[in-house]
Chains A and B, each alone.
Chain A
Amino acid sequence: MPETDTDIEAAFLADPFADHGPELQRLLFALRDQPAAGKLVLIEVEPGRKWQLARLGGRGQPVERLDHYFDDLRAAERHVFRLRLDERQA
Chain B
Amino acid sequence: MIADPDFGIIGYTDRWSYRPGETVSLHLSAKTAGLGRASLHRFRQYVPQNPGFELILDAIDGADAHFEVVPQQTRIGSYFEADLPLEHEPHSGLALAVMVRPTAVGAEGNGLFSLTAGDAALSLSIHPGGLLRARFKGDGAPVAETWSEVLAVNAWQALTVHFNPQAERLEICVRRGGELRNYAMALPAGFPAGAAKLTLAAAECSSLPSFNGRLEAPLLCKDGADARSMLARLDAFLDGAVPSEGVMAAWDFSRQMDSAVIADCGPHGCDGRLVNLPMRAVKGVRWSGGEQSWKHAPRDYASIHFHQDDLLDANWPAATTLALPDSLASGLYLIEVAGDAGRDVLPIFVTPKVRGRRSKLAFVAPTFSYLAYANDRCLLHGANPEVLANRMLVLTEGDCALAAHPEFGLSLYDTHVDGSGVSYASRRRPCLTFRHSQRAWQGGIGSGLWNFSADLLILSWLDREGLEYEIVCDDQLDAEGSGALGAYDCVLTGSHPEYHTANSHDAFSGFLAQGGRLIYFGGNGFYWRVSTHADYPGTIELRRAEDGNRSWASEPGEYYHAFDGAYGGLWRRNGRPPQHLVGVGYTGQGFFRCHPYRFTGDCQIDRVGFLFDGDPPQAETLLGDFGQIGGGAAGIEIDRADTRLGTPEHALVIASCSAFDDSYVLANEEVLVNRPTVVGRLSPLLRCDLVFFETPAGGAVLSTGSVAWAGSLGDLPADNDIARLTRRAVDRFLDAAPFSVPHQPSPQSGK
Contacts and interface: CB of A to CB of B under 8 A. Distances in A.
Interface of A: 16-17, 19, 25, 29, 32-37, 39-44, 46-49, 51, 54, 56-63, 73, 76-77, 80
Contacts of B380: 36, 56, 58-59, 63
B50 interface: yes
A33 to B, nearest CB: 6
A36 B382 contact: yes
A10 to B, nearest CB: 19
B381 A59 contact: yes
B381 A56 contact: yes
B51 A47 contact: yes
A29 to B, nearest CB: 6
B395 A47 contact: no
B241 interface: no
A61 B107 CA distance: 14
B387 interface: yes
6 contacts: A19-B662, A43-B394, A47-B52, A56-B381, A59-B380, A59-B417
Given A19-B662, A54-B395, A58-B381, 20 more contacts: A16-B391, A17-B593, A19-B661, A32-B386, A36-B381, A36-B382, A37-B381, A42-B393, A43-B395, A44-B448, A47-B51, A48-B50, A48-B52, A59-B380, A59-B417, A60-B381, A61-B403, A62-B400, A63-B399, A77-B392
A76 B393 CA distance: 11
Interface residues of B, number: 32
A16 B380 CA distance: 23
B445 A17 contact: yes
Interface string B557-588: 00000000000000000000000000000000
Contacts of B207: none
A55 B253 CA distance: 43
Interface of B: 50-53, 377, 379-382, 384, 386-387, 391-397, 399-400, 403-404, 406, 417, 439, 445, 448, 592-593, 661-662
Contacts of B382: 36
B400 A63 contact: yes
A39 B382 CA distance: 12
Contacts of A43: 394-397, 399-400
Given A34-B384, A59-B381, A59-B417, A41 B392 contact: yes
Nearest to A80: B392
B406 A17 contact: no
Contact of B394 (A16, A37, A44): A44
B404 A62 contact: yes
Contact of B396 (A17, A44, A61): A44
A59 B394 CA distance: 17
A59 B308 CA distance: 13
A6 B107 CA distance: 45
A50 to B, nearest CB: 10
A36 B384 CA distance: 7
Contacts of A77: 391-392
B662 A42 contact: no
Contacts of A37: 381
Please provide the 7 A-B residue pairs with the shortest distance between their CB atoms, ordered closest to farther.
Answer: A48-B51, A47-B52, A59-B381, A60-B406, A32-B386, A41-B393, A62-B404
Q: Which of B381, B382, B396, B400 has the most CB of A within 10 A?
A: B381
B403 A57 contact: yes
Contacts of A29: 387
Given A19-B662, A47-B51, A33 B394 contact: no
A54 B400 CA distance: 10
B534 to A, nearest CB: 33
Contacts of A73: 391-392, 394
Contacts of B399: 43, 63
A51 B381 contact: no
B403 A32 contact: no
A4 to B, nearest CB: 22
B400 A40 contact: no
Q: Which of B50, B53, B384, B417 has the most CB of A within 10 A?
A: B384
Given A19-B661, A47-B53, A59-B417, A33 B384 contact: yes
B668 to A, nearest CB: 19
Nearest to B446: A48
Nearest to B384: A33
B75 to A, nearest CB: 16
B394 A51 contact: yes
Contact of A40 (B391, B392, B661): B392
A73 B390 CA distance: 13
A44 B380 CA distance: 15
Q: Which of B53, B392, B397, B439 has the most CB of A within 10 A?
A: B392
B394 A42 contact: yes
Q: Which of A16, A35, A54 has the most CB of B within 10 A?
A: A54
A84 to B, nearest CB: 10
A54 B393 CA distance: 10
A40 to B, nearest CB: 7
B407 to A, nearest CB: 9
Nearest to A59: B381
Nearest to A50: B51
A32 B386 CA distance: 6
Nearest to A57: B403
Given A36-B384, A37-B381, A63-B403, A42 B392 contact: yes
Contacts of A48: 50-52
A21 to B, nearest CB: 10
B362 to A, nearest CB: 31
Contacts of A47: 51-53
Nearest to A58: B381
Contacts of A25: 662
Contacts of B417: 59-60
Nearest to A47: B52
A41 B52 contact: no
Nearest to A61: B403
B56 to A, nearest CB: 16
A77 B389 CA distance: 13
B51 A49 contact: yes
Nearest to B405: A62
Contacts of A62: 400, 403-404
B395 A42 contact: yes
A62 B401 CA distance: 8
Contacts of A61: 403
